[in-house]
Structure formats: structure tokens, C-alpha cells
Amino acid sequence: MPQNDGIADRAKDLIAGQFAIDRDRLSESARLFEDLGLDSMDSVELVMALEVEFGGEVPDGNISQIKTVGDVIHAVNIYFTPSDSAA
């Protein structure tokens, strides 16, 4: 199933806004810790923000598997069911 570009854009906007990161740095291969400077507490905050934004839940055991911006987008596509009406 192809990824929804709208979901990718929303996820990138959330990361950029939550952590004051330039949106241009958010390629799907960008590593959250090494490239973007997030730490383990930031990853928890990111998951909480995703849960609020997209209305779902990432299982605790799977949070550690989210290591890149692409992983964030993939997690949204798997664990959340974004509303088509959300803008």
C-alpha cells in the first residue's frame, strides 16, 4: 500500500513543530537521534504527540523501533487511522 503524502507531510510538520527542527532536514532517511539530535525523552514526547495528532496508540514495545523519519511515517500508517476529513 503506498504511503499517503498527506500523512507524511503531517508527520513531518509535527516533528518540525514539536522539536524546532528545520522542515528541510526531515528526509525519510533522517535518523531521529543521530541526525536530528532527539533523545529518549524526545522519542516519548514524539509518540505522545503522534497519538494526539492521529488518534491512536503505538504499542510500548514498538516505540524503540522508530529510528528515522520514515519509521515515524510508517508507524502512523500502521498504528493510526487518520480521518480523511482531518486537514
Catalytic residue among 39, 42, 71, 84: 39
Nearest Cα to Cα of residue 79 among 61, 60, 59, 65 = 59
Residue among 26, 32, 21 nearest 65 (CA): 32
Catalytic residue status for 9: no
User: Comparing C-alpha atoms, which of 80, 58, 85 is closest to residue 8?
Assistant: 80
Q: Give 58's strand partners.
A: none
Please identify every residue annotated as catalytic.
Answer: 39
